[in-house]
Structure 1
Amino acid sequence: MALLAHQLRTPLSTINALAQGLIRRADRLSTLDIQVKAEKIWRASLRLDELIETILSYTRASAGGIMLNPSEFHPSELIKRVCREQGGQEPDRPFHLDIKDMPETIIGDPVLLEQALVIVVSNAMKYSRPDQPIDVTARGEDGMIRITVKDRGIGIPERDLPFVLQPFFRGRNAKKLPGTGLGLSLAWYILKLHGGNLELESRARRGTKVSLIVPETNTTGLSYSI
């Protein structure tokens, strides 16, 4: 709880300080100054929203309260949308998207799968410099789809790798960066509900590769607990 409170307080403090600055100095700020501060407030609010959504989803998952709402959807469009929206938060970051041999439609819960992909893509951005590219590839293979997100960031130390899917665990080289340690465990849970899996490869200072594996058809869901 102390970790979660600290993570929530950071973007709140940013929003509070910037908003007070705008109120006190509104008559002396240029249009550009206001735009810069407004963008910082927007980014802090996005971070706060992400944290709250992750905490609420984890709470539902740990209580067995997440159920699949399966429907037919276009996986390629979902992947493109996530990359476009996440990339829009850092317009100068290169995004390399490569989609091949994907089924036109699959059956699953598009809302939950989008949440899992957003977690993985935002992690890749968070733990790598803004000038480092993110590679996203998607392939259909033997009734499954595999979405792989690769970054060139700080990576995960070898001795931490076996524990990163555990709730609240954070690698020793990531403790000073924003995060709750819930994201990957929640993404793994969502994929397991679909009968899929999450695979992770990483080396310290060499980046991380995360693969989300989902069957083309899942209408019932499986029972898993975080």
Structure 2
Amino acid sequence: MVSQQRLNQWRSQRDLWRNALQRPLAQHVAWWQAASQYVQIEDWLPLQDAIDRLLEEQVEEEPADASNLSEPIVIITATGAKLCDRNHLFAAYTRLIRAQQKALVEPAIETLRRQQQLILDAIGDGVYGVDLQGNATFINPAAAQMIGWEPQALIGKSMHQVLHHSRPDHSPYPREACPIYAAFQDGIIHRVSEEVFWRKDGSCFPVEYISTPMRDEQGKLVGAVVAFRDITQRKWAEAILQRTNEELEQRVRDRTIELQQANEQLKELSELRSRVVTMVCHEFRNPLNNILLSVSSLERYGAQLTPEQKGHYLLGIQDNVERMTQMIDAILIIGRVEAKRIEPQPSQFDLIPFCRDLMAEIAGEIQHPRLQFTCRFKRLLVTLDQCLLRSILTNILTNAIRYTPAPGKIQFKVLKQHHQIVFQITDQGIGIPPEDLPYLFEPFQRGRNVSNIAGTGLGLNIVKRFVDLHGGQINVSSQLGQGTTFQVSLPLHLPVCG
């Protein structure tokens, strides 16, 4: 690198100059005179050395005037000599430094860009960016996959029109009301958890999302970044949990009602038990007193009593024991019904021979003409519990016989009405007082006009319970001193279990 003065000196000393350039001067003179602009040097190392030397000379020797700064400068490189001035040299140097910095920075920027892209690609949530017009500037694969689009196809599109155009009920969703766009208008982060995004195929899915405003280096809003998540599975789990909770609450309510009903039943049973115990004690007192009196008489006066008298006392003891046995059996049956240990066991059978056989059993104890059976069917198939039905009819028929003095008659009719079988038993007995009818089926309830007629007061209670087990009805009508009619209606066919 030489100044103009040194160049003139070298021109006067051609041999020295030729040696310095190591090339014929004629090859360069014309180029020197024409060169007015800097020509970029491929090998920048000599230029760097030249700048360093030039700066050192500027520090050591201040130029006499500013015109020296524009003196031509010769730069000798491995490929030859080139001519420029200082201004062009500094401009070239500036461009060179910038090129060096760019060469160093661009790989780092590219590396950072790749890292950012890898992070976006690896995120499982959907992420996309929009500019101030709401058009997509970038979108990660997860977001594109969730809405059924290719990522590149979304760049530049209005994301509101793509995935947020409608509400869950398919009504339009105005862009002005969208929290995503509000983020780059008010500069506030918006979080939403009860909306839907729409897929390309027209289906939608529930999402929660956050819209965060984006700013440039000067803090100016330039758009927004939206991160969203498909919460279909969570909503499904929440729905199941909600339904499970509701079912559990309903079960708790049902169980509470059952427990309340059970408590009421226990209370009723407790009251019934107390009443039964009281009634049993009362009802057992008479038979026991009779037995005790008979035994005492036999013990005290046995020697003076005739065989007939002794037989009378023994027969009284036997009758009272049987009465107590019947009461015990009846109480046990009531207890089993209350505990739901008796359930109907229906089976199909012909009702006509069943009723005739029952009449024959009962008629053996009375004169046959008093008991009359009527039915217009010769064959009538039913599906009922034979044991329970036998107990129902036997109790009513024996009561009719017991409370009907001879020669009063008892009529037993069997009717078929729609899908029901009706048993009608009418007697010509003493009848039931009207004030006793409402309590007729209560335990240990007997008409006040029964006098000394034997009975436990439990038979009709058992009848009512057995009729209820069949899902039937029992009705009674009576006229005091003229007779009583019992009517029992049962389903023609009960479902057969198993």
What TM bracket, shorter-length normalisation?
Answer: 0.7 to 0.9
Structure 1 residues 165-191: Cα deviation after superposition (integer angstroms, max 9, x where no partner): 222222211264322222112112111
Q: Which residue of 2 aligns with 1:168?
A: 444
| 1:197–1:115 CA distance, 2 compared to 1 (3 A) | same
Give the C-alpha shift of residue 62 in structure 1: 2.2
Matched AA of 2:463: A
Q: Which residue of 1 aligns with 2:453?
A: 177
Give the C-alpha shift of residue 99 in structure 1: 1.5
The match for 2:477 among 184, 201, 217 is 201
Find the aligned partners of 1:138 and 1:88 in 2 and give their Cα distance.
21
Q: Which residue of 2 aligns with 1:112?
A: 388
Find the aligned partners of 1:76 and 1:49 in 2 and give their Cα distance.
32
Find the aligned partners of 2:473 and 2:383 in 1 and give their Cα distance.
16
Does the 8 Å contact 1:68/1:220 carry over to 2?
no
Find the aligned partners of 2:293 and 2:368 in 1 and give their Cα distance.
26
Q: Which residue of 2 aligns with 1:31?
A: none
User: Mean alpha-carbon deviation: is it higher for 148-157 or for 165-174?
Assistant: 165-174
CA RMSD of aligned residues (A): 3.6
Q: Which residue of 1 aligns with 2:435?
A: 159
The match for 1:57 among 316, 333, 354 is 333
Matched AA of 2:374: D
Matched AA of 1:149: I
| 1:65–1:156 CA distance, 2 compared to 1 (3 A) | same
Find the aligned partners of 1:154 and 1:86 in 2 and give their Cα distance.
20
Structure showing the higher helix proportion among its residues: 2
User: Which runs of 5 or more residues in structure 2 are unaligned?
Assistant: 1-276, 296-311
Q: Which residue of 2 aligns with 1:138?
A: 414
Q: Which residue of 2 aligns with 1:217?
A: 493
Q: Could you state the TM-score of these two structures normalised by the residue count of structure 1?
A: 0.76
Q: Which residue of 2 aligns with 1:28?
A: none
Find the aligned partners of 1:92 and 1:102 in 2 and give their Cα distance.
21
Give the C-alpha shift of residue 52 in structure 1: 3.8
| 1:205–1:13 CA distance, 2 compared to 1 (3 A) | same
Does the 8 Å contact 1:198/1:210 carry over to 2?
yes
User: Which runs of 5 or more residues in structure 1 are unaligned?
Assistant: 20-35, 222-226
Structure 1 residues 129-175: Cα deviation after superposition (integer angstroms, max 9, x where no partner): 14221111111110111111111111111121122122222221126
Find the aligned partners of 1:5 and 1:102 in 2 and give their Cα distance.
48
Matched AA of 2:440: V
Give the C-alpha shift of residue 77 in structure 1: 2.0
| 1:199–1:37 CA distance, 2 compared to 1 (3 A) | same
- How many residues of Structure 1 are paired with residues of Structure 2 in the alignment? 221
| 1:183–1:17 CA distance, 2 compared to 1 (3 A) | same
Find the aligned partners of 1:11 and 1:195 in 2 and give their Cα distance.
36
Q: Could you state the TM-score of these two structures normalised by the residue count of structure 2?
A: 0.38
Does the 8 Å contact 2:409/2:427 carry over to 1?
yes
Residue 435 of structure 2 aligns to a residue whose secondary structure is coil
Give the C-alpha shift of residue 43 in structure 1: 7.3
| 1:47–1:103 CA distance, 2 compared to 1 (3 A) | farther
State yes or no: 1:84 paired with 2:373.
no
Residue 434 of structure 2 aligns to a residue whose secondary structure is coil
Q: Which residue of 2 aligns with 1:188?
A: 464
Find the aligned partners of 1:116 and 1:156 in 2 and give their Cα distance.
19
Give the C-alpha shift of residue 87 in structure 1: 1.7
User: Mean alpha-carbon deviation: is it higher for 199-208 or for 122-131?
Assistant: 122-131
Matched AA of 1:84: A
Does the 8 Å contact 2:323/2:456 carry over to 1?
no
The match for 1:68 among 341, 344, 351 is 344
Q: Which residue of 2 aligns with 1:26?
A: none
The match for 1:149 among 422, 425, 428 is 425
